[in-house]
DNA sequence: ACTTGCCTTGACGCGGACGTCAACGTCTAG
DNA sequence: CTAGACGTTGACGTCCGCGTCAAGGCAAGT
Protein backbone atom coordinates (compact mmCIF):
# COMPACT_ATOMS: atom_id res chain seq x y z
CA UNK A 1 0.00 0.00 0.00
CA UNK A 2 1.05 3.62 -0.40
CA UNK A 3 1.47 6.27 2.25
CA UNK A 4 -2.07 7.58 2.03
CA UNK A 5 -3.63 4.21 2.70
CA UNK A 6 -1.26 3.49 5.55
CA UNK A 7 -2.15 6.86 7.01
CA UNK A 8 -5.84 6.12 6.72
CA UNK A 9 -5.58 2.65 8.19
CA UNK A 10 -3.53 3.79 11.17
CA UNK A 11 -4.92 7.25 11.75
CA UNK A 12 -1.38 8.63 11.59
CA UNK A 13 -0.85 11.52 9.19
CA UNK A 14 1.34 11.14 6.13
CA UNK A 15 3.55 13.84 7.58
CA UNK A 16 4.09 11.75 10.67
CA UNK A 17 4.89 8.64 8.63
CA UNK A 18 7.55 10.51 6.67
CA UNK A 19 8.87 11.86 9.92
CA UNK A 20 9.15 8.34 11.32
CA UNK A 21 11.14 7.42 8.24
CA UNK A 22 13.42 10.41 8.81
CA UNK A 23 14.00 9.17 12.31
CA UNK A 24 14.83 5.71 11.04
CA UNK A 25 11.81 4.06 12.63
CA UNK A 26 10.05 3.14 9.43
CA UNK A 27 11.73 1.95 6.23
CA UNK A 28 9.73 2.07 3.01
CA UNK A 29 10.48 0.42 -0.29
CA UNK A 30 9.91 2.60 -3.30
CA UNK A 31 7.93 1.73 -6.38
CA UNK A 32 9.14 2.73 -9.85
CA UNK A 33 7.64 6.20 -9.65
CA UNK A 34 9.30 6.92 -6.32
CA UNK A 35 6.20 6.39 -4.21
CA UNK A 36 6.66 4.71 -0.84
CA UNK A 37 5.35 1.15 -0.67
CA UNK A 38 4.35 -0.43 2.64
CA UNK A 39 3.27 -3.93 3.60
CA UNK A 40 1.34 -5.42 6.51
CA UNK A 41 4.44 -5.59 8.68
CA UNK A 42 4.82 -1.85 8.36
CA UNK A 43 1.20 -1.48 9.37
CA UNK A 44 1.87 -3.49 12.51
CA UNK A 45 4.94 -1.47 13.21
CA UNK A 46 3.12 1.82 12.99
CA UNK A 47 0.39 0.46 15.22
CA UNK A 48 3.03 -0.58 17.74
CA UNK A 49 4.49 2.91 17.70
CA UNK A 50 1.03 4.38 18.19
CA UNK A 51 0.24 2.15 21.11
CA UNK A 52 3.52 2.93 22.78
CA UNK A 53 3.00 6.62 22.31
CA UNK A 54 -0.36 6.47 24.04
CA UNK A 55 1.32 5.02 27.10
CA UNK A 56 3.74 7.89 27.16
CA UNK A 57 6.81 6.69 25.31
CA UNK A 58 8.64 9.22 23.16
CA UNK A 59 9.40 8.27 19.59
CA UNK A 60 13.00 7.69 20.56
CA UNK A 61 11.90 5.27 23.23
CA UNK A 62 9.91 3.22 20.76
CA UNK A 63 13.08 2.47 18.84
CA UNK A 64 14.03 -0.65 20.79
CA UNK A 65 10.56 -2.05 20.15
CA UNK A 66 10.79 -1.31 16.46
CA UNK A 67 14.20 -2.91 16.18
CA UNK A 68 12.95 -5.88 18.17
CA UNK A 69 10.15 -6.40 15.68
CA UNK A 70 12.53 -5.95 12.76
CA UNK A 71 14.87 -8.56 14.14
CA UNK A 72 12.12 -11.10 13.73
CA UNK A 73 10.46 -11.23 17.12
CA UNK A 74 6.71 -11.57 17.25
CA UNK A 75 6.19 -8.71 19.69
CA UNK A 76 8.14 -5.53 20.12
CA UNK A 77 8.65 -6.13 23.81
CA UNK A 78 10.30 -9.51 23.43
CA UNK A 79 13.74 -7.95 23.77
CA UNK A 80 15.55 -6.96 26.94
CA UNK A 81 16.07 -3.37 25.81
CA UNK A 82 12.34 -2.92 25.35
CA UNK A 83 11.61 -4.33 28.78
CA UNK A 84 14.15 -1.94 30.19
CA UNK A 85 12.22 0.93 28.63
CA UNK A 86 9.03 -0.37 30.26
CA UNK A 87 10.78 -0.34 33.63
CA UNK A 88 12.11 3.15 33.16
CA UNK A 89 8.76 4.50 32.08
CA UNK A 90 7.04 2.88 35.03
CA UNK A 91 9.44 4.60 37.37
CA UNK A 92 8.94 7.87 35.56
CA UNK A 93 5.18 7.49 35.79
CA UNK A 94 5.38 6.82 39.51
CA UNK A 95 7.61 9.81 40.07
CA UNK A 96 5.31 12.00 38.04
CA UNK A 97 2.26 10.72 39.86
CA UNK A 98 3.86 11.53 43.18
CA UNK A 99 4.82 15.04 42.10
CA UNK A 100 1.49 15.70 40.52
CA UNK A 101 -0.33 14.46 43.59
CA UNK A 102 1.63 16.91 45.70
CA UNK A 103 0.90 19.71 43.30
CA UNK A 104 -2.78 18.90 43.29
CA UNK A 105 -2.83 19.03 47.07
CA UNK A 106 -1.01 22.36 47.11
CA UNK A 107 -3.44 23.76 44.60
CA UNK A 108 -6.38 22.62 46.69
CA UNK A 109 -4.88 24.30 49.75
CA UNK A 110 -4.29 27.51 47.86
CA UNK A 111 -7.79 27.54 46.46
CA UNK A 112 -9.29 26.93 49.88
CA UNK A 113 -7.17 29.70 51.35
CA UNK A 114 -8.17 32.15 48.65
CA UNK A 115 -11.83 31.35 49.10
CA UNK A 116 -11.52 31.71 52.85
CA UNK A 117 -9.99 35.14 52.50
CA UNK A 118 -12.59 36.09 49.93
CA UNK A 119 -15.57 35.21 52.17
CA UNK A 120 -13.97 35.30 55.59
CA UNK A 121 -14.91 32.43 57.87
CA UNK A 122 -18.19 31.09 56.55
CA UNK A 123 -18.14 28.55 59.41
CA UNK A 124 -17.90 30.95 62.28
CA UNK A 125 -20.11 33.54 60.69
CA UNK A 126 -19.67 37.02 62.14
CA UNK A 127 -22.92 37.97 63.78
CA UNK A 128 -24.99 40.31 61.72
CA UNK A 129 -26.51 43.08 63.80
CA UNK A 130 -30.06 42.18 64.66
CA UNK A 131 -32.56 45.02 64.24
CA UNK B 1 17.86 47.14 43.37
CA UNK B 2 19.17 46.18 39.93
CA UNK B 3 18.49 43.07 37.95
CA UNK B 4 21.48 41.14 39.26
CA UNK B 5 20.44 41.55 42.86
CA UNK B 6 16.84 40.68 42.12
CA UNK B 7 18.06 37.59 40.32
CA UNK B 8 20.21 36.61 43.25
CA UNK B 9 17.50 37.19 45.83
CA UNK B 10 14.89 35.22 43.91
CA UNK B 11 17.01 32.56 42.30
CA UNK B 12 15.55 33.53 38.94
CA UNK B 13 18.08 34.26 36.21
CA UNK B 14 18.44 37.73 34.76
CA UNK B 15 17.45 36.26 31.44
CA UNK B 16 14.19 35.06 32.92
CA UNK B 17 13.50 38.44 34.52
CA UNK B 18 13.95 40.22 31.19
CA UNK B 19 11.73 37.63 29.64
CA UNK B 20 9.00 38.31 32.20
CA UNK B 21 9.28 41.96 31.31
CA UNK B 22 8.91 41.12 27.63
CA UNK B 23 5.77 39.23 28.50
CA UNK B 24 4.43 42.18 30.40
CA UNK B 25 4.54 40.44 33.76
CA UNK B 26 7.20 42.61 35.31
CA UNK B 27 7.60 46.34 34.80
CA UNK B 28 10.90 47.96 35.72
CA UNK B 29 11.72 51.59 36.13
CA UNK B 30 14.99 52.66 34.60
CA UNK B 31 17.74 54.60 36.25
CA UNK B 32 19.62 57.36 34.39
CA UNK B 33 22.03 54.96 32.76
CA UNK B 34 19.29 52.71 31.47
CA UNK B 35 19.65 50.02 34.11
CA UNK B 36 16.47 48.38 35.38
CA UNK B 37 15.50 49.35 38.91
CA UNK B 38 13.33 47.13 41.08
CA UNK B 39 11.74 47.55 44.49
CA UNK B 40 10.42 45.19 47.15
CA UNK B 41 7.05 44.89 45.45
CA UNK B 42 8.77 43.55 42.37
CA UNK B 43 10.59 41.06 44.56
CA UNK B 44 7.27 39.85 45.92
CA UNK B 45 5.86 39.68 42.44
CA UNK B 46 8.68 37.51 41.17
CA UNK B 47 8.35 35.27 44.19
CA UNK B 48 4.65 34.92 43.47
CA UNK B 49 5.39 33.92 39.89
CA UNK B 50 7.92 31.39 41.11
CA UNK B 51 5.54 29.82 43.58
CA UNK B 52 2.80 29.58 41.00
CA UNK B 53 5.15 27.97 38.53
CA UNK B 54 6.08 25.26 40.98
CA UNK B 55 2.41 24.30 41.26
CA UNK B 56 2.18 23.93 37.52
CA UNK B 57 0.90 27.27 36.25
CA UNK B 58 2.29 28.54 32.97
CA UNK B 59 3.62 32.08 32.86
CA UNK B 60 0.49 33.14 31.01
CA UNK B 61 -1.63 31.73 33.80
CA UNK B 62 0.22 33.75 36.42
CA UNK B 63 -0.88 36.94 34.73
CA UNK B 64 -4.16 37.32 36.65
CA UNK B 65 -2.24 36.97 39.91
CA UNK B 66 0.29 39.56 38.86
CA UNK B 67 -2.41 41.99 37.83
CA UNK B 68 -4.24 41.31 41.05
CA UNK B 69 -1.16 42.27 43.03
CA UNK B 70 -0.61 45.32 40.87
CA UNK B 71 -4.13 46.50 41.45
CA UNK B 72 -3.32 46.80 45.12
CA UNK B 73 -4.49 43.53 46.62
CA UNK B 74 -2.37 41.97 49.30
CA UNK B 75 -2.27 38.54 47.72
CA UNK B 76 -2.29 37.55 44.08
CA UNK B 77 -5.22 35.22 44.56
CA UNK B 78 -7.57 37.80 46.00
CA UNK B 79 -9.21 38.30 42.62
CA UNK B 80 -11.88 36.20 40.98
CA UNK B 81 -9.85 35.62 37.85
CA UNK B 82 -7.00 34.14 39.89
CA UNK B 83 -9.37 31.85 41.74
CA UNK B 84 -10.76 30.75 38.41
CA UNK B 85 -7.24 29.78 37.36
CA UNK B 86 -6.88 27.74 40.56
CA UNK B 87 -10.09 25.92 39.71
CA UNK B 88 -9.03 25.21 36.16
CA UNK B 89 -5.63 23.94 37.23
CA UNK B 90 -7.18 21.69 39.83
CA UNK B 91 -9.38 20.15 37.18
CA UNK B 92 -6.43 19.80 34.87
CA UNK B 93 -4.41 18.14 37.60
CA UNK B 94 -7.21 15.70 38.33
CA UNK B 95 -7.62 14.87 34.66
CA UNK B 96 -3.90 14.38 34.30
CA UNK B 97 -3.75 12.23 37.41
CA UNK B 98 -6.50 10.04 36.05
CA UNK B 99 -4.84 9.65 32.67
CA UNK B 100 -1.45 9.05 34.16
CA UNK B 101 -2.86 6.48 36.55
CA UNK B 102 -4.35 4.63 33.63
CA UNK B 103 -1.11 4.82 31.73
CA UNK B 104 0.83 3.53 34.70
CA UNK B 105 -1.53 0.58 34.97
CA UNK B 106 -1.21 -0.18 31.27
CA UNK B 107 2.53 -0.02 31.51
CA UNK B 108 2.51 -2.42 34.42
CA UNK B 109 0.34 -4.83 32.47
CA UNK B 110 2.60 -4.63 29.45
CA UNK B 111 5.70 -5.20 31.53
CA UNK B 112 4.15 -8.17 33.25
CA UNK B 113 3.10 -9.61 29.92
CA UNK B 114 6.51 -9.18 28.41
CA UNK B 115 8.18 -10.81 31.40
CA UNK B 116 5.70 -13.67 31.26
CA UNK B 117 6.48 -14.30 27.61
CA UNK B 118 10.17 -14.02 28.31
CA UNK B 119 10.17 -16.65 31.07
CA UNK B 120 7.02 -18.58 30.21
CA UNK B 121 4.76 -19.37 33.16
CA UNK B 122 6.96 -19.20 36.22
CA UNK B 123 3.87 -20.00 38.29
CA UNK B 124 2.86 -23.23 36.66
CA UNK B 125 6.38 -24.39 36.04
CA UNK B 126 6.66 -27.01 33.34
CA UNK B 127 7.91 -30.19 34.94
CA UNK B 128 11.55 -30.75 34.36
CA UNK B 129 12.29 -34.35 33.44
CA UNK B 130 13.42 -36.19 36.48
CA UNK B 131 16.44 -38.44 35.97
C1' DA C 1 44.80 53.31 31.34
C1' DC C 2 43.26 48.91 32.34
C1' DT C 3 40.70 45.21 34.18
C1' DT C 4 36.71 43.42 36.20
C1' DG C 5 32.02 43.01 36.67
C1' DC C 6 27.60 44.55 35.95
C1' DC C 7 24.33 46.15 32.58
C1' DT C 8 22.00 46.80 27.70
C1' DT C 9 19.53 44.93 23.25
C1' DG C 10 19.04 41.51 19.69
C1' DA C 11 19.02 37.25 17.72
C1' DC C 12 19.37 32.37 17.38
C1' DG C 13 18.96 27.54 19.75
C1' DC C 14 16.61 23.77 22.19
C1' DG C 15 13.42 19.72 22.64
C1' DG C 16 9.23 16.80 20.63
C1' DA C 17 6.31 15.69 17.25
C1' DC C 18 4.82 16.97 13.91
C1' DG C 19 1.77 21.17 10.85
C1' DT C 20 1.95 23.82 6.91
C1' DC C 21 3.41 25.69 2.69
C1' DA C 22 5.88 25.74 -1.69
C1' DA C 23 6.68 23.91 -5.94
C1' DC C 24 6.56 20.23 -8.38
C1' DG C 25 5.71 15.03 -10.47
C1' DT C 26 2.19 11.12 -11.23
C1' DC C 27 -1.92 8.62 -11.93
C1' DT C 28 -6.83 8.16 -12.91
C1' DA C 29 -11.54 9.53 -14.48
C1' DG C 30 -14.35 12.01 -17.49
C1' DC D 1 -6.97 17.29 -22.51
C1' DT D 2 -7.68 18.52 -18.17
C1' DA D 3 -9.03 18.48 -13.44
C1' DG D 4 -8.30 16.58 -9.18
C1' DA D 5 -6.42 13.41 -6.06
C1' DC D 6 -2.34 11.63 -4.61
C1' DG D 7 2.69 11.53 -4.29
C1' DT D 8 7.63 13.78 -3.77
C1' DT D 9 11.38 16.84 -1.22
C1' DG D 10 12.72 20.81 1.46
C1' DA D 11 12.27 24.18 4.65
C1' DC D 12 10.20 26.95 7.98
C1' DG D 13 6.52 27.42 11.94
C1' DT D 14 4.47 25.90 16.37
C1' DC D 15 4.52 25.87 21.73
C1' DC D 16 7.24 27.22 26.29
C1' DG D 17 10.54 29.07 29.04
C1' DC D 18 14.08 30.41 28.90
C1' DG D 19 19.86 29.40 27.57
C1' DT D 20 23.52 31.15 25.12
C1' DC D 21 26.10 33.94 22.54
C1' DA D 22 27.37 38.61 20.35
C1' DA D 23 28.68 43.14 20.70
C1' DG D 24 28.80 46.49 23.08
C1' DG D 25 27.86 50.63 27.34
C1' DC D 26 28.73 51.97 32.26
C1' DA D 27 30.88 52.09 36.99
C1' DA D 28 34.40 51.19 40.23
C1' DG D 29 38.92 49.63 41.82
C1' DT D 30 44.07 49.63 41.12
Mean pLDDT value across residues B81-87: 95
B31: part of which helix (H) or strand (E)?
A: none
For A13, counting Cβ atoms within 10 Å of its Cβ (0-12 exposed, 13-18 middle, 19+ buried), the class is exposed
Q: What is the pLDDT along chain A (131 residues), one digit of tens a residue?
A: 999 999 999 999 999 999 999 999 999 999 999 999 999 999 999 999 999 999 999 999 999 999 999 999 999 999 999 999 999 999 999 999 999 999 999 999 999 999 999 876 554 444 545 44
Q: At B37, is the secondary structure helix, strand, or coil?
A: strand
3-state secondary structure chain A: CCHHHHHHHHCCCHHHHHHHHHCCCCCCEECCCCCEECCHHHHHHHHHHHHHHHCCCCHHHHHHHHHHHHCCCCCHHHCHHHHHHHHHHHHHHHHHHHHHHHHHHHHHHHHHHHHHHHCCCCCCCCCCCCC
Per-residue model confidence (pLDDT) at position A68: 95
The reply to whether B93 touches chain A by the CB within 8 Å rule is: yes
**CB neighbours of A94 closer than 8 A, spacing ≥ 6?**
B104
For an interface test with A, give the residue of B93, B98, B105, B107 to mutate (most A CBs within 10 A): B107
Rounded Cα distance between B58 and A127, Å, is 41
Task: Detail the protein residues whose CB sits closer than 7 A to any atom belonging to strand C.
Answer: A 12-13, 15-16, 19, 32-34, 53, 58-60; B 2-5, 7, 14, 18, 28, 34-36
Residues B15-59: tens digit of each pLDDT = 999 999 999 999 999 999 999 999 999 999 999 999 999 999 999
Per-residue model confidence (pLDDT) at position B121: 54
Is residue B125 very low, low, confident or very high in pLDDT (cuts 50, 70, 90)?
Answer: very low
pTM of the model: 0.85
For residue B29, the cross-strand partners are B37
**CB neighbours of B106 closer than 8 A, spacing ≥ 6?**
A55
Rounded Cα distance between B19 and B5, Å, is 16
Do the chains contact at B118 and A56, CB–CB below 8 Å? no
Per-residue model confidence (pLDDT) at position A120: 67
Rounded Cα distance between B89 and B67, Å, is 18
Residues B70-82: tens digit of each pLDDT = 999 999 999 999 9
Residue B131 pLDDT > 50 = no
Residue B116 pLDDT > 50 = yes
Amino acid sequence: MRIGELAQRTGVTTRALRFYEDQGLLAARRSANGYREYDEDDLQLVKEIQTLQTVGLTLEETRPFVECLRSGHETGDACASSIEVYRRKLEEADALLARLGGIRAELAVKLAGALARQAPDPCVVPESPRP
